[in-house]
Amino acid sequence: MDRRLILVTWLDSHSYEGWTAVKDLKPDGVTCRSVGWLISETEQTLTLAPHLTQADHASAEEQASGAMVIPRVSVVSIEDLAVP
Protein backbone atom coordinates (compact mmCIF):
# COMPACT_ATOMS: atom_id res chain seq x y z
CA MET A 1 0.00 0.00 0.00
CA ASP A 2 1.68 3.17 -1.21
CA ARG A 3 -0.77 5.77 0.02
CA ARG A 4 -0.04 8.93 2.02
CA LEU A 5 -1.39 9.08 5.57
CA ILE A 6 -2.36 12.71 6.17
CA LEU A 7 -3.92 15.06 8.69
CA VAL A 8 -6.20 17.64 7.06
CA THR A 9 -7.36 20.74 8.92
CA TRP A 10 -10.44 22.21 7.24
CA LEU A 11 -13.36 24.54 7.81
CA ASP A 12 -16.92 23.24 7.87
CA SER A 13 -20.23 25.02 7.88
CA HIS A 14 -22.63 24.81 10.81
CA SER A 15 -26.19 25.76 11.58
CA TYR A 16 -28.19 26.92 14.56
CA GLU A 17 -31.12 25.08 16.07
CA GLY A 18 -34.37 27.02 16.32
CA TRP A 19 -34.68 30.79 16.43
CA THR A 20 -31.48 32.67 17.25
CA ALA A 21 -30.95 36.38 17.78
CA VAL A 22 -29.04 37.80 14.82
CA LYS A 23 -26.50 39.37 17.21
CA ASP A 24 -25.67 35.84 18.47
CA LEU A 25 -24.88 34.43 15.00
CA LYS A 26 -21.13 33.97 14.73
CA PRO A 27 -19.46 34.46 11.32
CA ASP A 28 -16.85 31.73 11.86
CA GLY A 29 -16.96 28.20 10.49
CA VAL A 30 -16.13 25.13 12.54
CA THR A 31 -12.50 23.96 12.38
CA CYS A 32 -12.28 20.21 11.79
CA ARG A 33 -9.34 17.80 11.67
CA SER A 34 -9.46 14.53 9.76
CA VAL A 35 -6.87 11.77 9.50
CA GLY A 36 -6.88 9.24 6.72
CA TRP A 37 -5.24 7.65 3.74
CA LEU A 38 -5.26 9.91 0.69
CA ILE A 39 -7.37 8.05 -1.87
CA SER A 40 -7.49 10.77 -4.51
CA GLU A 41 -6.93 14.46 -5.00
CA THR A 42 -8.15 16.78 -7.70
CA GLU A 43 -8.03 20.53 -8.13
CA GLN A 44 -11.40 20.69 -6.32
CA THR A 45 -11.30 17.91 -3.70
CA LEU A 46 -9.36 15.57 -1.42
CA THR A 47 -10.76 12.10 -0.71
CA LEU A 48 -9.65 10.46 2.56
CA ALA A 49 -10.41 7.05 4.03
CA PRO A 50 -9.56 6.20 7.64
CA HIS A 51 -9.89 2.46 7.06
CA LEU A 52 -8.38 0.39 4.23
CA THR A 53 -8.12 -3.31 3.59
CA GLN A 54 -4.80 -4.74 2.60
CA ALA A 55 -5.23 -7.20 -0.25
CA ASP A 56 -3.90 -10.57 0.89
CA HIS A 57 -3.64 -12.03 -2.62
CA ALA A 58 -3.22 -10.75 -6.17
CA SER A 59 -6.91 -10.96 -7.11
CA ALA A 60 -8.18 -9.14 -3.99
CA GLU A 61 -9.42 -5.59 -4.43
CA GLU A 62 -8.40 -2.85 -2.03
CA GLN A 63 -11.45 -1.54 -0.16
CA ALA A 64 -12.10 1.57 1.97
CA SER A 65 -14.57 2.35 4.73
CA GLY A 66 -15.61 5.74 6.09
CA ALA A 67 -14.31 7.68 3.08
CA MET A 68 -15.07 11.39 2.88
CA VAL A 69 -14.57 14.09 0.27
CA ILE A 70 -13.32 17.49 1.45
CA PRO A 71 -13.59 20.50 -0.89
CA ARG A 72 -10.15 22.08 -1.36
CA VAL A 73 -11.63 25.54 -0.78
CA SER A 74 -12.28 24.38 2.82
CA VAL A 75 -8.73 23.05 3.43
CA VAL A 76 -6.59 25.08 5.82
CA SER A 77 -3.59 22.73 5.92
CA ILE A 78 -2.36 19.23 5.01
CA GLU A 79 0.31 17.43 7.02
CA ASP A 80 1.96 14.12 6.15
CA LEU A 81 2.00 11.66 9.03
CA ALA A 82 4.71 9.07 9.62
CA VAL A 83 3.78 5.45 9.01
CA PRO A 84 5.72 3.00 11.20
81: nearest Cα among 46, 34, 41: 34
Residues 50-77: tens digit of each pLDDT: 999 877 766 678 899 999 999 999 999 9
pLDDT higher than threshold 80 for residue 38: yes
Q: Does CATH number 3.90.1150.10 belong to domain 1-12+29-51+63-84?
A: no
pTM value? 0.83
Query: What is the structure's pLDDT at 59?
Result: 67
d(C-alpha 60, C-alpha 82), whole Å? 26
Beta bridge partners of 46: 41, 70
Comparing 2 with 24, the larger pLDDT belongs to 24
